[in-house]
Chain A
Amino acid sequence: MAMVQPRSTKYRVLASHIGMLCFIALILFPLLMVISISFRSGNFATGSLLPEVPSLEHWSLALGIPYTDDAGNVTQPPFPVLLWLWNSIKIAVVSSILILALSTTSAYAFARMRFAGKGFVLKSMLIFQMFPPVLSLVALYALFDQIGNHVSWLGLNTHGAVIVASLGGMALHIWTIKGYFDSIDRSLEEAAIVDGATTWQAFRYILLPLSVPILMVVFILAFIMTIMEYPMASILLVDTDKLTLAVGAQQYLYEQNYLWGDFAAAAVLSGLPITLVFLYCQKWIVGGLTAGGVKG
């Protein structure tokens, strides 16, 4: 999209650059403050943006290393932050891979096959998705409590339950992938089938490679959604060593004792895996969003 460059272009470009910089500054400022708090000694949020006395206290505690201050006092790490991070990554990776696999196959069925009840299933799944998730918390809690009596890895306080609960939010992803499949000309696959390919081969070697951008977008969205999920995980997970980082970070903030510094370090840490995945995949994102969302 190249903007037209009429007469007063120069000022306009300058103004839009300045506007953009201001907006980005507004976006970044609260984040910089959190990063700065995580490097500040003590548990205060006051002080200048650049810490006068930078300290690694909170980071070493977050990474599980006991911290010794100048006076020789040793602070033990209060919470297993790295374990929480590992839990979060494990849950997010497993459920986003499952979401991607399941929604791709069923999107294929919706886009390329005709079967009884297709329109009904598609629409009803989208409507279920509008049911506020917070409202189903109580019901899901009771449900997993019951299941846990029979299948131990799916009960309360297990990661299996969180993963299964996160799989429910798939309808939107199916719609996104289906929209993309619809935009790919099916004559390509038909040609392959005429040449003797099976339906599976046409799907695997023709449709899938063409759909990589949208599949990346769905993977990232699913990854972000599950790693940030708070209400469900906070209700299903109980033990300290089972928590995800999003739930665990909240443990630093008691009514009486707000450990801002430790919280800030854990918060920055919790943003890291998503940021890395996002940085790696961002080149696909704009293409995928464009192709999935805009047609005609």
Chain B
Amino acid sequence: MNKIPDNRAWWLVLPVFILVAFSALIPLMTVVNYSVQDIFGPNSAYFVGTDWFREVLQNENLQASLGRQFVFSAAVLLIEIPLGIGVALMMPTSGRRGSLCLILLAIPLLIPWNVVGTIWQIFGRGDIGLFGWALNEIGINYNYTGNTGDAWATVLLMDVWHWTPLVALLCYSGLRAIPEAFYQAAEIDRASRWAIFRYIQLPRLKSVLVIAVLLRFMDSFMIYTEPFVLTGGGPGSSTTFLSQTLTTMAIGQFDIGRAAAFSLVYFLIVLLVSWLFFTAITHLDKEK
């Protein structure tokens, strides 16, 4: 039933393809269109070719925010992936306690993103928030609205709080898929706990980890709502990440041509990094 090409299948695929095209392809084409024109009003636009791209690539403001974005995504991955694996290993394996852990862990994922930002905004304040207040009480001068380091720490902590549970849940489901026989064999060989982790659990987790790393990279690279609500990008522009720079440019300053050129560069970076990562993983697979 699957050997003969059956173009009736297009009827099933077409509605979805149209919807995805509508919400992704049309905006993409609009952005491409904007990126090569200088727009003054509804009826006055001039073709400027690659001028915006050249300007955007030399813009120091954008370079700085791109740099911050890479540092942020790298930090997020370095903290959340190992922590998520650790938590998944610690989770009770079955029964009521297992379900309870699952539900409690999932709670941060169930909160609207802007509320997450606001929760941490309250939590970190020195005068009224418990976290900020507690840090100040034990003698650490903590102020996320004034100090760059503190702002970064708070944004990172918020992201770890928000998304580590996702990594943990994915890893947990991966661990559950390992057949019992693997552990029995390891026991017979008197394998150490580390050896079990290194040679049984980690390799079997690989496909889940690929998904987790890709998801976390893409999400953290496009992060917008949470830092925007928490710090508004400040102090100065120290926690202004790429999407916020872009939104300010497009909606705040109506600098649409520059913003469009920049968003295409942004899109290409996301694609490139994801592709590199994906190729690296599949390449490793083949070598084995």
Contacts and interface: CB of A to CB of B under 8 A. Distances in A.
Real complex partners, A and B?
yes
A31 B119 contact: yes
B31 A121 contact: no
Interface in A135-157: 135-140, 142-143
B106 A278 contact: yes
Interface stretch (A21-29, A53-61, A70-78, A204-212): A21-29
A170 B165 CA distance: 23
Interface string A162-204: 0011011111001000000000001001100100000100000
Contacts of A34: 119, 122
With a 10 A CB-CB cut-off, give which of A110, A116, A132 has the most chain B CB atoms: A132
Q: By DSSP majority rule, is chain B's interface helix, strand, loop, or mixed?
A: helix
Interface in B106-162: 106-115, 118-120, 122-123, 125, 127-131, 161
A131 B104 contact: no
Contacts of A247: 114
How many chain A residues sit at the interface, stated as a range, is 35 or more
A271 B129 CA distance: 21
B186 A267 contact: no
Contact of B271 (A16, A130, A164, A224): A130
Given A267-B115, A282-B103, A294 B17 contact: no
A167 B19 contact: yes
Contacts of A249: 112, 114-115, 118
Contacts of B36: none
A64 B208 CA distance: 45
A82 interface: no
B1 A112 contact: yes
Given A116-B5, A131-B267, A230 B112 contact: yes
B280 interface: no
B111 A125 contact: no
A114 B3 contact: yes
Interface residues of B, number: 103
A23 B131 CA distance: 16
B113 A286 contact: no
Given A6-B187, A128-B24, A131-B27, A1 B175 contact: yes
Contacts of A170: 16, 19-20
Interface string A259-296: 01001000100110011001100110110011001110
Contacts of A121: 13, 17
A173 B244 CA distance: 27
Given A131-B27, A139-B30, A294-B207, A228 B111 contact: yes
A290 B51 CA distance: 49
A115 interface: yes
A230 B113 contact: yes
B224 A140 contact: no
Contacts of B131: 30
Given A125-B20, A168-B24, A134 B246 contact: yes
B284 interface: no
7 contacts: A33-B130, A128-B21, A164-B19, A164-B22, A170-B20, A186-B1, A278-B103
Interface of B: 1-10, 12-13, 15-17, 19-28, 30-31, 86-87, 89-93, 99, 101-115, 118-120, 122-123, 125, 127-131, 161, 165, 169-170, 172-178, 180, 183, 186-187, 190-193, 196, 204, 207-208, 211, 218, 222, 224-225, 229, 243, 246-247, 250-251, 256, 259, 263, 266-267, 270-271, 274
